[in-house]
Amino acid sequence: MKTLPLAAILFLVACDNDKAREAQAKAAEAATAAKAAAREEAGQVVTKAKEVGAVAVDKTKAVAAAAIEKSRELKAEASVKAVDLRAAAAEKAAAIAAVARGKGSAAVESFRTRLAGFHEWLATKDGAAGDLKNTDSVMKDIMANLKAIPTDGLPEDLKSGFGEYQNTLIEVQKLLATMPKAEGAALAEWETANKAAFESLNAKMAAAVKGLKEAAARHGIPDLPLGE
């Protein structure tokens, strides 16, 4: 085997070292290039993601803005409709109230006229009422004539007051139905026994008449024909 001179060996080693360094340099350069490419690609991905995100945000904002605008339009339409409905309801209520006032006024005037007629009729019964035998029939006639007076369409307080007046007269009628029909001891005894009841009914009748007159005065009848 031939042995190379030392100088040749050193030359070969030097050449190998140069090649190794060159290979290392190329490898480092390739690695650097790969890293740069990777960074560039990553940057492009991030940029693209930002662009996509920005577009998505813009679309979301646009959709939200459109929804808000539509909501405002619907709210405005609903508000206009509500105002129209309230106006229509108020107009209808006013019309109904006007009709009711007209009917109420007519009913009150009719009531006044009919009650005046009742008291004119009642004046013709004074003589008959003084006869004890006629007490029951007179009271029946009185109640029949009172009940014939219509109360439809009357204001509630006037209608209620007239009802209380009639109810009190019914109590008087029931008490008088127990009264003896002839002068004498029995009648005197009955009057004594029912003195407290008569006093109570007189007070109740006075209150009923007062309440009815006050209700009538509130509705334009200051001279309701009723005796105290």
In the chain, where the domains are located: 115-218
Task: Determine contact, residues 143/123, Cβ cutoff 8 Å.
Answer: no
pLDDT tens over the chain, length 228 residues: 555 566 666 666 566 666 667 767 777 777 787 777 777 776 776 677 677 666 666 776 777 777 788 878 777 776 667 666 676 555 554 333 333 444 458 999 999 999 889 888 888 876 555 567 778 888 899 999 999 999 999 999 999 999 999 999 999 999 999 998 888 899 999 999 999 999 999 999 999 999 999 999 999 888 877 755
pTM above threshold 0.75: no
Choose among 143, 163, 144, 141: nearest CA to 152. Answer: 163
